Amino acid sequence: MRASRFFISTLKEAPSDAEIVSHKLMMRAGMIKRLGSGIYTYMPMGLKVIRKVEAIVREEMNRAGAIELLMPLVQPAELWQETGRWDKMGPELMRVKDRHGREFAIQPTSEEVITDVVRGEIKSYRQLPLNFYHIQTKFRDERRPRFGLMRGREFTMKDAYSFDRDLEGMQKSYQVMFDAYTKIFTRFGLKFRAVAADNGAIGGTGSHEFHVIASTGEDALVYCPTSDYAANMEAAEAVASGTRAAPSAELVKTATPKAAKCEDVAKLLGIDLSKTVKTIALTVETETDGKLDKQYFMLLLRGDHELNEIKAAKVPGLQGAYRFSTEAEIAEVYGCKPGYLGPIGTKAPVTVVADRTVANMADFVTGANEEDFHFTGANWGRDVAEPHVTADLRNVVEGDPSPDGKGVLAIERGIEVGHVFQLGTAYSAAMNATYLDENGKPAPLQMGCYGIGVTRILGAAIEQNFDDKGIIWPTSIAPFELVLCPMGYDRSELVKEETEKLYAAALAAGIDVIVDDRGLRPGAMFADWELIGVPHRVVIGDRGLKDGNLEYQGRRDTEATNVPVADIVAFIKARVQQ
């Protein structure tokens, strides 16, 4: 490509609405252009990256045996009603009526359509397994679109759907996709991590998220550096360390005036926050024969720990719908204001659910169910009955034991760019998608679904790879692998000639090269390409050519390297392939 025939449009300053570095740099590098809130035109330089991402995804999906098709954007409401998602999904599902008043969804994902296609096509177990995918525009009407391509409304996603006879087959298909994703993200040249994830509302039997590691990431990833344990914060299991010590202190009701928070109590008493226990009061309402019944639960967490609501929602009795108790309910049940609650001496019966770590504590500090008072030296079994339920209720913290017993946990930040999901029969059962087994009996198809946020990859790659000059693309997804920067293309016959020779040689060697023939001054030219983030640069100048040299500089290099003209293509080829 010649820069004069391409469209390059860089900015010195990012627009004020760009909050994060990837958004700012993509705008400045002229890769995207805002059309509306969360809606962007992919400019030529940005589209080149998208196409490279798509090509890698496509190659590895095909290699893994998945078959590409293309499902429509505009999908009839009837299919979404079959699975109940038409009602279940909120306003993020963009709905539209046609001229006859029929309702449609603009696809945010295509489980319904692929299940409809497959139930029409698959008759027999002999046709299985199958895995279909497409790379298609999606729309999600986010409440607050932001961060450029990171949380847009219109975006490109690769979504794949596997169909199997049984659980075992589905898990095999899942593993094939897991492995393909590992290859894909490796080929992107990004540092990434696959973590176990919670299955959420869809149910199913397993799921992993693929995250690009970046300090600016929205998600906390938990992993064990000395084993292969990895999970996202929602799913990472918190194991209590050690065992419960014997009581060594007396139970004392201690005045803690105006200390309604564990932090304040610890400060007041001069103890470590990890000696305190905080109480979270919950209410579960049930209706039987029109009669409303309320049950009260108390969650106990160590003062320095955080509640994990996903885990709490799995506690027996709390499944389904729980809510935080109101002040009135707290007054009725605990006889006290919030901030001073505890398991010792409640007014009404409460189910005590202790986090594993709390259940292991001795001589702890907890609310006395009386304003401005806490108990110190509290002990399970002695001062209060053992917890009714002991469960994993909290987020893990750095240094927690790894659940596999092979070390301690570390935490890093990530950006979710892929998700593999064992759906089971959630969709096939709802939509009556069956196949005939060996005995001619219909059985529901076992499904998996597998997504990659194609356009989001761009944002994530930049959040991981940038400096104060601009973007630093991994070679495999860079808009161009190599830029040729001639010094005086229009002035020096020798420079022009050598540039054209190198351009032709690089093309012939299969290098995706752009030659900057715009006639810019060196400073402006270099600044453009450093901002855009092309990973390899060769400067062709009279001075170097005098000694038979060209100047090579990698985007991360601090200095240029002189390379003899005769060696340059092989030299670059080796670096591009690294």
Q: Using CB under 8 A, pick the residue from 3, 25, 26, 40 that binds its own copies.
A: 40
Nearer to its own copies by C-beta: 10 or 274? 10
Residue 11: CA count within 13 A, CB half-sphere: 16
Q: Does 180 bind its own copies (CB under 8 A)?
A: no
Q: Does 510 sit near its own copies (CB under 8 A)?
A: no
Which one, 120 or 242, has the nearer CB to its own copies? 120
The answer to whether the CB of 91 falls within 8 A of the CB of 402 is: no
Phi, psi of 480 (to 5 degrees): -135, 145
Tokens standing for 308?
Answer: 């994990």
State which H helix or E strand residue 40 sits in: strand 39-42
Helix (H) or strand (E) run with residue 134 in it: strand 130-139
The residue among 35 and 167 lying less far from its own copies, judged by its C-beta, is 35
Rounded distance, CA 492 to CA 500, Å?
12
Interface with its own copies in residues 140-179 (CB under 8 A): 141, 143, 153-154
330 vs 514, beta carbon nearer its own copies: 514
Beta carbons of 542 and 495 less than 8 angstroms apart: yes
Contact between 121 and its own copies per CB under 8 A: yes
The minimum distance between CB 120 and its own copies, in angstroms, equals: 7
> To which residue do tokens 């005045």 refer?
255
Give the C-alpha separation, 184 to 98, whole Å: 39
Least gap, CB of 132 to its own copies (angstroms): 7
C-beta closer to its own copies: residue 122 or 312: 122
Window contacting its own copies (CB under 8 A); options: 19-27, 130-138, 417-425, 437-445? 130-138
Contact status: 39 vs its own copies (CB under 8 A): yes
Instruction: Give the nearest distance from C-beta 50 to its own copies in angstroms.
Output: 7
CA 432 to chain centre: 32
By CB under 8 A, name the one of 92, 250, 272, 285 that touches its own copies: 92
Binding residue for its own copies (CB under 8 A) from 3, 21, 43, 568? 43
Site map 50..79 versus its own copies, x via CB under 8 A: x--------------x-xxxxxxxxxx---
Q: Which is nearer to its own copies, 39 or 245 (CB)?
A: 39
Strands 192-196 and 39-42, sheet pairing: unpaired
CA 106, 109, 115, 120 dihedral sign is: positive
Q: Does 137 bind its own copies (CB under 8 A)?
A: yes
| Segment contacting its own copies by CB under 8 A, of 31-39, 283-291, 478-486, 531-539 | 31-39
* Nearby residues of 78 by Cβ (< 8 Å), 6 or more positions away: none
| CA 299 – CA 311 distance, rounded (Å) | 11
Read out DSSP for 227-277? SS-EEETTTPPPPPPS-PPPP-S--EEEE-TT--SHHHHHHHHT--GGGBE
The answer to whether 98 contacts its own copies (rule: CB under 8 A) is: yes
Which spans of this chain sit near its own copies (rule: CB under 8 A)? 5-7, 9, 33, 35-36, 39-44, 47, 50, 65, 67-76, 91-92, 94-96, 98-99, 104, 106, 113, 116-117, 120-121, 130, 132, 137, 139, 141, 143, 153-154
